[in-house]
Structure 1
């Protein structure tokens, strides 16, 4: 494709003219040297031909050198192209390959020559490649066709490849010399990225779905938990009934965590942090996770553990994931150990955390362990070392801990078990022994406006407010709440506080209602309440004008505490 004929480089007539001119110059030089030109005239034609041949020879050498340089450039472009090029005969044997093609299979070029391309196609894709080749041979036109195949490297590693090819006859009507030209590109990374994108889109969709489920589920639990709280108040002196009610209350609280694993990856989901002791959370979570298991467990909690500011539901989920992972790592039984201690980190620890006080929670098993080449992938979504599992547990836990400004460290050796340590920022000096008790219930009277679209929730909140000594009023949506608040203000009988549900189907919710009420009363004491526990307004309520947030479900004690803080908050 690069060869040039001499005629392409120098016109024949022009060459003759230059040769004659050179011969005349030679004759003149001889004449000047007192040599008779008459004897040389007869040799003129011969000399012209000799000069012509010499010039043609020079031109051939120049063109040959250019062709050699062009072929060298072509060879380099061919060899170092970003895709593998294969030339195969009609029998499927590889006749020519570039370096990139050989590198795809991690062999030298000469090791591929004469081998069947099909020998590198995995068994389950042989049929696909056979149909693809048949299509190429039948078409035999310069129309590119492609297919995706799984190919096997020399060491057995499988990769996904995009194969593009055409088939051509070297000579017309010469079926035996038909060649197939294949361009092969490794698209493993691209396919992985596409799969990851689909997985994340799936997670996002599940998060949206779970948000809706959580809202409805938490509304139902609000009614159940609220009525349990009210019934507890009437059975304070009946110890047996009180125990049963407290168990039911605890089950309701644990039920609110069921949707958290999906909500963790939902867009906008932030931890709803509170300062708390980690001890009850660890005790309850481990007992709950280990029920019905053939694995034993040990709890070792240091005295006077520092307090932490965390989202209790999220951290409960982390501990639950770690305990279940440890349990599943020991199918033949063993012991799961959970330790919790105060830890003041210094630079020598080598952790990607700020220097300061932390709570260190370690979950250790006696299982099969994790290979070193897998340790750096265990937090990747959908990566799992178990036959059964979706690979979301540790990825979810990692995401939660990072959102709490903490860190997870994993130490493991094959056959020697695994230890997972969680570091959470602690409140130095706020130990369990110095936690100050507060009055559990709000006393006195006050007018409280409750806005919620569900009658059962309005009823149970009204009952709890009445139990607390307050006078409740109710609105179905934001528009009605605005009218009631305006009327009460104009009568000189304003509400002491409002409790607004964030979401009202087909109507104005709590945020929209509060925006209008603030125009009526800039000092309104508003509490936001929602079953959407990951809503940004619930985690950053002051930004939107609320004094406090009350996630659903809630009990009488929680309502009392939040209401007290909102009413006493003078801002």
Structure 2
């Protein structure tokens, strides 16, 4: 039902943009885009309960990421908010998109629980020991993030089912928000718990295993991106996406070649390398219907050029290659559907990468 509503919003606003007042076109297309992003969020939440949705991790500055995710999640919100993040907050290895989804879902839950005059306080801290989940998590150092609101609280009977998929006490919503957040935290080796409270409101705590590794540098992206004179080979078997990638990459200055099968990608790459016009970048779909996919093609290409730079793209987030893309020789992973800035970050990460041969694995 929710997914069909999102599709209806996309189709309807695009149709209006085609036949309506040109002055209204940007607004209608923005509404269509919002509907599409809503459909993507719903798809991601449904994947959390399938065998898919494995985190694509990198070591992150959790404080920086929390501020950015919280700012995005509360844009336009009427919640009164307080954010407390210590300067010495530990880093964690996590999927930044999934972390943002957890933050967004907890903000939405607070909005629905508090109504007018709602207040939400977010506190981050370093935590030693096992999270109070009733199960030993097996770790010793965690980043803890508490979301405390002044809403109506959680009754004992609701507490029992709070993280069950499709369970909701709200008049609107899918009942997937808290269940999705709970599943994502568990897949990161952490936990999401409802804290006991003595007064009104509810308090949720995220626990994420901390790491002593330094956070990864932010992916460099020009604004707007300009890769004039660079060559990219795209492996994609869907004509609509072929045309989209050619248009976007062309705007960024790339010379773009497209193939629909991994065997053709290997052949084209080897031919260009042989005549001295090696591709600067590959963008490779993981799954090609009836043909060789991106992972196998990349393995063959790396036998000819260990320094080949590539981004793997897939709509199937349950494939282990997406979670462990570096082991397969890729520099970045991009889940479909993606936005312009997500593609730009992935391409920027790959283009900034200096080839290091077998060390890419």
**Same-fold call, TM cutoff 0.5:** yes
* Alignment of 1:538 onto 2:326: no
Q: How does 1:294-313 map to 2 (within 5 A)?
A: 294-313=78-97
- Aligned pair partner of 1:523 in 306, 318, 324: 306
SS of the residue aligned with 2:120?
Answer: strand
Q: Could you tell me which of 464, 469, 477 is aligned with 2:252?
A: 464
**Residue pairs, 1:472-487, within 5 angstroms:** 473-487=257-271
Is 1:345 the counterpart of 2:128 in the alignment? yes
Structure 1 residues 528 and 269, CA gap change in structure 2 (3 angstroms):
same
Asked if structure 1 preserves the Cα contact closer than 8 Å seen for 2:130 and 2:140, the reply is no
CA distance in 2, matches of 1:439, 1:530: 19
Shift of 1:426: 1.9
Give the superposition deviation at 1:500.
1.7
The answer to whether the 8 A contact 1:502-1:528 is kept is no
Which aligned pairs between 1:24-103 and structure 2 lie closer than 5 A?
none
Find out whether 1:421 has 2:223 as its counterpart: no
The TM-score with structure 2 as length reference comes to: 0.71
SS at match of 1:329: helix
TM-score (structure 1 length as normaliser): 0.47
2:161 is matched with which residue: 377, 380, 401? 377
Deviation of 1:288 after TM superposition, in Å, equals 4.1
* Structure 1 unaligned spans of 5+: 1-201, 218-250
Cα offset, 1:410, TM superposition: 0.9
Deviation, structure 1 residue 393: 1.6
- Report the structure, 1 or 2, having the larger helix content: 1
CA apart distance, 1:270: 0.5
RMSD of Structure 2 on Structure 1 (CA)? 4.1
For residues 479-498 of structure 1, give each alpha carbon's deviation from its aligned partner in whole angstroms, at most 9, with x where no partner exists: 43233224335546554553
Aligned partner of 2:176 in structure 1 is 392
Q: CA deviation at 1:524?
A: 6.1
Q: Is residue 563 of structure 1 aligned with residue 351 of structure 2?
A: yes
Aligned position for 2:286: 502
1:243-258 to 2 correspondences below 5 Å = 257=41
Ranges in structure 2 where 5+ consecutive residues have no aligned partner: 11-33
Q: What is the CA-CA distance between 1:332 and the residue it aligns to?
A: 4.8
Counterpart contact for 2:306–2:357, Cα < 8 Å:
no
State the secondary structure of the residue aligned to 2:204. Answer: strand
The residue that corresponds to 2:13 in the other structure is none
Residues 414/356 of structure 1: CA separation in 2 closer, same or farther (3 Å cut): closer
Asked if 1:408 corresponds to 2:192, the answer is: yes
Give yes or no for contact 2:235–2:259 (8 Å, CA) kept in 1: yes
Corresponding residue number in structure 2 for 1:264: 48
Q: Compared with structure 1, are the counterparts of its residues 489 and 505 closer, same or farther at alpha carbon in structure 2 (3 Å cutoff)?
A: same
Q: Distance in 1 between matches of 2:261 and 2:354?
A: 22
What is the distance in 1 between the residues matched to 2:271 and 2:173?
57
482-491 vs 354-363, greater mean Cα deviation: 482-491
1:112-151 alignment runs, 5 A limit? none
Relative distance call for 1:367 and 1:555 in structure 2 (3 A) is same
Structure with greater contact order relative to length (CA < 8 Å, sep ≥ 6):
2
Count of matched residue pairs: 319
1:429-440 correspondence to structure 2 within 5 Å: 430=214
Partner of 1:450: 234
Shift of 1:395: 1.3
CA distance in 2, matches of 1:418, 1:448: 50
Residue 266 of structure 1: SS of its match in structure 2?
Answer: coil
Specify whether residues 265 and 348 from structure 1 end up closer, same or farther in structure 2 by C-alpha distance, changes over 3 A only.
Answer: closer
SS of alignment partner, residue 417 of structure 1: coil
Distance 2:130 2:57 in 1: 27
CA shift, 1:532, in A, is 1.7
1:414-468: CA deviation from partner (whole Å, max 9, x where unpaired): 862111011111234748xxx86887679998754333341230342245364xx
- Residues of 2 paired with 1:279 and 1:265: CA distance? 28
